[in-house]
Amino acid sequence: MKTAIVIGATGLVGNELVKLLLKDSRIELVKVFTRKSLHINNNKLEEHIINFDQPDQWKKLVTGDILYSALGTTLKVAGSKDAQYIVDYNYQYNFARMAAANGVGKYILVSASGSSANSKIFYSRMKGELERDIKKIPFETIHILRPGMLKGKRDKVRTGEILGVALLNAIGSFPGLQALKPISGTEVANAMINATFRHVVGIHSYGPSVLFDLSKTVAVTG
């Protein structure tokens, strides 16, 4: 029976992740750190409404066995690259450091396909820099998931994403190009949980094609 910590719980992947964790009999407690309430009534859920810019107010609460990090925003919502970097890099990196310092042993990160600290593309470089620096934090086990385009129901409609999903679904139907197919938030969330309970230590990364297979194992419920 494990205690899971989740940041990014209001997003596409994070919201599905919390739902799955609350049903998983291997998880005793789900601690969510978020900027707004999930409005979920469940005895297994411990919700902390926080300001990520004021860690002194909540860092001692970041205790448990597993940290799931699915936090992120878009350039449009953030308003600038600097603002997006604060959410996608600073908040996640600083939260991970605090978790490790408090004895959390496992870390599961949702990154992105094509992430590289040397990329000339801002988004890919930002994700790559986070991966690079997370690997230096002394967790016992780190799982990094790099999904391709995500699909699923969001609070706000993203027209470009809808068109992209349709295009990649078509491309992914051709032999050898299945890895390009969009992956649902539920599939990524299930892959995160399944990675958690692989009995391995060290650092492990999963690209788009591997994630489809990893997501197929059904999480234990009860």
* Spatial contact of 4 and 21, defined as CB atoms under 8 Å apart: yes
The whole-number pLDDT of residue 110 equals 96
The whole-number pLDDT of residue 170 equals 44
The whole-number pLDDT of residue 218 equals 56
The whole-number pLDDT of residue 198 equals 86
Question: Cα–Cα distances in Å, from 218 out to 21, 90, 213?
Answer: 12, 33, 11
The whole-number pLDDT of residue 179 equals 53
Name all domains of the chain by residue range, CATH numbers in brackets: 2-150+185-214 (3.40.50.720)
What average pLDDT values come out for the chain (222 residues) when binned by 10 residues? 96 95 96 96 96 96 97 93 97 98 97 94 96 97 92 55 45 48 88 91 92 76 58
pTM: 0.86
The whole-number pLDDT of residue 162 equals 47
Cα–Cα distance for residue pair 199/13, rounded to 1 Å:
23
